[in-house]
Structure 1
């Protein structure tokens, strides 16, 4: 495919990825979403570690993927936007750069409706990634896959579309493409797992509950785009990859 043709083909992607910041972090909401019910959910102290066989399911029936998902509300100087994220460890979560940029305040909440105080956010210069340090402990963290998935592999996306209820959607990896927004990033993954505004920053998981990518965009055909776990791992291992997130003043 010639470069000019590729750019025309990806134009709707770029437009909608510019909307996925509308999709993920820049969709204005009329009012704060209602918290997830807490009556049937154990406290963080009761969350068991992953099973010895690598399964991420907990004995009480709650998937660790749900436990580690975080809803993010970005209170900016110009309005409110929402996104998703997931715990990397007890006091660190991963999300998209566009979800946390230009904020005056970040409001975080867990799957059980508990508020978590944010301490500091840092954004990557290369990929649409960010990390947020938290004051309060996050309920659970997933395992990062050792390698990127292959075409045809199953994928599950866990996040907060529209900034509301925690949702789990399934699909498959359908291919890879040069990142339409950040060409210097290289290849990103394409899946048919449904995502919506507010899904940006969601974890994409393999069949064993391991993170294989981070949702950051969708195109006009409803395909979702992932920063692959290999890129996430490389950037987390680079002390120079992240810088303090820009705020709105």
Structure 2
């Protein structure tokens, strides 16, 4: 039988083996570094808001691009009939806002949420192609995962305010960038018809895949919807990248359309039924204006849509076919100088004004017809999506 060790020796051996582990356990963990208050506030806003952001995969039946598709707006990693973008929840029923060009032409949408491996399906509820906006509803998502973001007031933004852009640049899901409001008085071509509209300019990095994601203020309220970037390099290569000049649709525009989107409408600006000259009258020489009896400003009508609102009201199109550096134009038609008493200085003015009206509404056109003033009333017709309305 082995001889028993002295009790004191046994305790000493036990302590010898135990002491390193005990010492390790007793060592306190390094303290979490304390962030400056402003930085901690930004971290908190981003951490909370990312739970409301959607990563959207849009699948189309073929490889043809939609009327608004562009490498500026799609995930460059997407192949053929798949593109991606971002969105965010706006209410507890699973409705989410995104860009129209993210879901345009898609027959199937899937959504991924941060920290959740499950993929959810979504359906397009309503669209506003002229405003590049769409409302989708995520289906089958648990109520606990629906975290609507509060909407701010884009009309009160000031240059220099902090901005936070959330989304999936280049498919890198749930990314965040920060910057400031760079300008509040910008207009950019927006929607399927490229109508100039107000936009928020920010230097928070926005890249392909950020489209449809929220632009937040420092309190975590949505002030805009990331939509496009200005990228000289992209113009040359076909793949736009952030150059510190990004644009977002003001959230007040989306909020005003939200009830109509939720009711399932396709919202398009109404039309007069005319084709306008692709240049401003200010671009013409004095000789050309005198030859064709044109005023110095206004929206020059090139052609009239047969049986359209303008044709029915007696508006005249051009009759003299003239080739120009920007395409063939028919001169000799009416020039719209005002609508409902509001001065129209250019084609852009007319398009922007029509976005504020609705189909079926009657408007009064003031026309310059070969130097003579005419006044006609026209009933606006519904607009249509180029290439067909989904």
TM-score normalised by length of structure 2 = 0.45
Residue matched to 1:103:
106
Query: Which secondary structure state, in structure 2, belongs to the residue aligned with residue 143 of structure 1?
Result: coil
Question: Taking structure 1 as reference, are residues 56 and 135 closer, same or farther at Cα in structure 2, changes over 3 Å only?
Answer: farther
Residue matched to 1:5:
none
Residue matched to 1:144:
151
User: Where do 1:73-92 residues align within 5 Å?
Assistant: 73-77=57-61, 78=63, 79-90=81-92, 91-92=94-95
Distance in 1, Cα, partners of 2:111 & 2:208: 17
Residue matched to 2:52:
68
TM-superposed CA distance for 1:94, in Å, is 0.5
User: Where do 1:42-61 residues align within 5 Å?
Assistant: none
Query: Which secondary structure state, in structure 2, belongs to the residue aligned with residue 234 of structure 1?
Result: helix
Matched, 1:243 2:255: no
Cα displacement string for residues 171-228 of structure 1 (whole angstroms, at most 9, x for unaligned residues) = 0111131122356563111000001111100100000000000000000133110000
TM-superposed CA distance for 1:232, in Å, is 1.3
Cα displacement string for residues 143-197 of structure 1 (whole angstroms, at most 9, x for unaligned residues) = 0013432111110011111223310100011113112235656311100000111
Query: Which secondary structure state, in structure 2, belongs to the residue aligned with residue 233 of structure 1?
Result: helix
Structure 2 runs not aligned, ≥5 long? 1-40, 64-80, 232-242, 268-384
**Match 2:250 to one of 211, 225, 228:** 228
| Greater relative contact order structure (CA < 8 Å, 6+ sep) | 1
**Contact 1:102 / 1:248 at 8 angstroms: preserved in 2?**
no
The answer to which of 219-228 and 96-105 deviates more is 219-228
TM-superposed CA distance for 1:136, in Å, is 2.4
**Contact 2:52 / 2:89 at 8 angstroms: preserved in 1?**
yes
**Contact 1:120 / 1:134 at 8 angstroms: preserved in 2?**
no
Q: CA RMSD in A?
A: 2.9
Structure 1 stretches of 4+ moved >3 Å: 55-58, 181-185, 237-242, 244-249
**Contact 1:143 / 1:211 at 8 angstroms: preserved in 2?**
yes
TM-score normalised by length of structure 1 = 0.69
**Match 1:215 to one of 226, 240, 248:** 226
Query: Which secondary structure state, in structure 2, belongs to the residue aligned with residue 126 of structure 1?
Result: helix
Residue matched to 2:35:
none
Matched, 1:124 2:128: yes
Q: Which structure's CA Rg is the greater one?
A: 2
**Contact 2:130 / 2:190 at 8 angstroms: preserved in 1?**
no
Aligned residues: 193
Distance in 1, Cα, partners of 2:100 & 2:187: 19
TM-superposed CA distance for 1:56, in Å, is 10
**Contact 2:166 / 2:176 at 8 angstroms: preserved in 1?**
yes
The answer to which of 181-190 and 212-221 deviates more is 181-190
Matched, 1:164 2:172: yes
Structure 1 runs not aligned, ≥5 long? 1-54
